[in-house]
């Protein structure tokens, strides 16, 4: 045999030298959950190792992560039901604890790059990403609230906005609102291909933000999030987001949509992000606790597969564990 591919696998040194894909801590964004109060650290039951932090402990958590080499954090607020309403009005109230926490974080840890979520579901008493009117999730009225939320987050010091609502036209609406308010340097990482996935349940547990049946609307998000059966539709969404001024494009979930990640990577020059979602994380944790899988090996292989598919950036709850391994701690 003239060709023996195994010659290029015969030693660790050769395998390392020829490795095509690498994941580094700098490629990761760490999603973190926030709650009101002080000295609060509450584990999310369906996401072992993930917590809801009050602002004081969130600062300590981010400071520790910065020392491990994690530079970017996506923050999600858990809002008490009593403070939610059908208009999601707390979302842009400057006294919102979420916005106050971001201001404090940017003062005390200015080197931390902060990403925020732009959607109504944490604040909406209906649990939907858009306003409910007459049995429908209304698109254009929702954009007005999203625009106010985006400007309020930019004012607080957010570096990257993550519109996750899947309303039509929201990237352009947010870009215009930010530019008119003078926040031309704030980035938009659009949730371009966000699917109506069954893998979000642990996240919704963390924020108590599951969609509710309201005015005849079923308790799901299928009228605005994408059908998991569709791939070409992701190109339509991406075309729109690029034209509307997105700086980065995201696919969510990641592991079960590697084909979509590759599709966007092959068609667009913008950075491609992928969200390794709560259900994907929870499955690995649950199997590892049963002794069915090697957690460290599966975590590494999972992140590698997402990177190999074409993701430049990975949002993952494994970020801190991965960073510790890379740092040898």
CB 315 within 8 A of CB 194: no
- Whether 187 has a pLDDT exceeding 90, the answer reads yes
Residue with tokens 């604040």: 123
Whether a cis peptide bond, with omega within 30° of 0, leads into 253 is yes
Query: What percent of the chain is predicted at pLDDT more than 90?
Result: 85
Per-residue pLDDT band at 134 (split at 50, 70, 90): confident
Strand partners, 73: 30, 114
Q: Give the model's pLDDT for residue 201.
A: 87
CB 71 within 8 A of CB 62: no
60-85 confidence digits (pLDDT tens): 999 999 999 999 999 999 999 899 99
Query: What percent of the chain is predicted at pLDDT more than 70?
Result: 97
Task: Calculate mean pLDDT across residues 247-261.
Answer: 98
Residue 111 structure tokens: 């080197």
* Non-local CB neighbours of 27 within 8 Å, separated by 6+ positions: 307, 312, 313, 314
Q: Give the model's pLDDT for residue 136.
A: 87
- Whether 51 has a pLDDT exceeding 70, the answer reads yes
Q: Is 237 annotated as a binding residue?
A: yes
Residue 261 structure tokens: 């990640």
Task: Calculate mean pLDDT across residues 174-200.
Answer: 97
CB 188 within 8 A of CB 247: yes
262-312 confidence digits (pLDDT tens): 999 999 999 999 999 999 999 999 999 999 999 999 999 999 999 999 999
Distance CA 92, CA 167 (A): 18
Task: Calculate mean pLDDT across residues 232-236.
Answer: 97
Q: What is the mean pLDDT of the chain?
A: 94
Distance CA 164, CA 166 (A): 6
- Whether 240 has a pLDDT exceeding 90, the answer reads yes
- Whether 208 has a pLDDT exceeding 80, the answer reads no
Residue 1 structure tokens: 């045999």
Burial class (CB in 10 A: 0-12, 13-18, 19+), 152: buried
DSSP state for residue 260 in the 8-state scheme: H
CB 268 within 8 A of CB 243: no
Distance CA 286, CA 248 (A): 32
- Whether 147 has a pLDDT exceeding 70, the answer reads yes
Per-residue pLDDT band at 215 (split at 50, 70, 90): low
Q: How much is the pTM? A: 0.94
Per-residue pLDDT band at 135 (split at 50, 70, 90): confident
CB atoms within 10 A of CB 56: 14
Strands 72-77 and 51-53: unpaired
Q: Give the model's pLDDT for residue 210.
A: 66
* Non-local CB neighbours of 54 within 8 Å, separated by 6+ positions: 34, 35, 36, 37, 38, 39, 40, 41
Q: Give the model's pLDDT for residue 212.
A: 66
93-126 confidence digits (pLDDT tens): 999 999 999 999 999 999 999 999 999 989 988 8
Distance CA 6, CA 8 (A): 5
Nearest to 250 by CA among 195, 179, 206, 320: 195
Q: Give the model's pLDDT for residue 177.
A: 98
Residues forming the active site: 194, 252
The SS3 of residue 280 is helix
Q: Give the model's pLDDT for residue 209.
A: 65
Helix (H) or strand (E) holding 309: helix 295-309
Concatenating the DSSP letter of every residue in 102-169 gives HHHHHHH-TTSEEEEEE-STTTBTT--SSEEETTEEESHHHHHHHHHHHHHHHHHT-SEEEE-S--TT
- Whether 329 has a pLDDT exceeding 80, the answer reads no
Domains delineated in the chain: 22-327 (3.20.20.70)
């Amino acid at each position: 045999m003239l060709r023996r591919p195994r010659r290029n696998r015969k030693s660790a040194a050769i395998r390392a030298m020829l490795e095509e894909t690498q994941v580094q801590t700098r490629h990761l964004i760490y999603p973190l959950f926030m709650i009101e109060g002080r000295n609060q650290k509450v584990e999310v039951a369906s996401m072992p190792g993930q917590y809801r932090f009050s602002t004081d402990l969130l600062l300590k958590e981010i400071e520790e992560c910065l020392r491990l080499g994690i530079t970017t954090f996506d923050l999600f607020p858990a809002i008490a039901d009593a403070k939610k309403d059908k208009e999601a009005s707390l979302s842009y109230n400057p006294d919102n604890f979420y916005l106050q926490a971001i201001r404090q974080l940017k003062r005390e840890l200015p080197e931390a790059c902060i990403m925020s979520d732009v959607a109504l579901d944490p604040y909406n008493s209906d649990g939907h990403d858009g306003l409910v009117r007459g049995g429908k999730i209304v698109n254009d009225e929702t954009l007005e609230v999203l625009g106010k939320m985006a400007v309020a987050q930019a004012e607080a010091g957010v570096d990257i906005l993550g519109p996750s609502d899947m309303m039509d036209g929201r990237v352009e609406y947010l870009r215009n609102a930010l530019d008119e308010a003078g926040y031309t340097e704030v980035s938009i990482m659009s949730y371009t291909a966000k699917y109506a996935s069954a893998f979000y349940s642990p996240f919704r547990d963390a924020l108590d933000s599951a969609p509710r049946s309201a005015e005849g609307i079923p308790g799901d998000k299928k009228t605005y999030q994408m059908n998991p059966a569709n791939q070409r539709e992701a190109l339509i969404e991406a075309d729109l987001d690029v034209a509307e001024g997105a700086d980065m494009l995201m696919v969510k979930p990641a592991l079960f949509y590697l084909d979509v990640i590759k599709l966007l990577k092959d068609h667009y020059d913008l950075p491609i992000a992928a969200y390794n979602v709560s259900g994907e994380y929870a499955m690995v944790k649950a199997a590892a606790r049963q002794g069915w899988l090697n957690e460290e090996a599966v975590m590494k292989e999972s992140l590698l597969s997402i990177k190999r598919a074409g993701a430049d950036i990975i949002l993952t709850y494994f970020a801190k564990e991965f960073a510790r391994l890379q740092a040898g701690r």
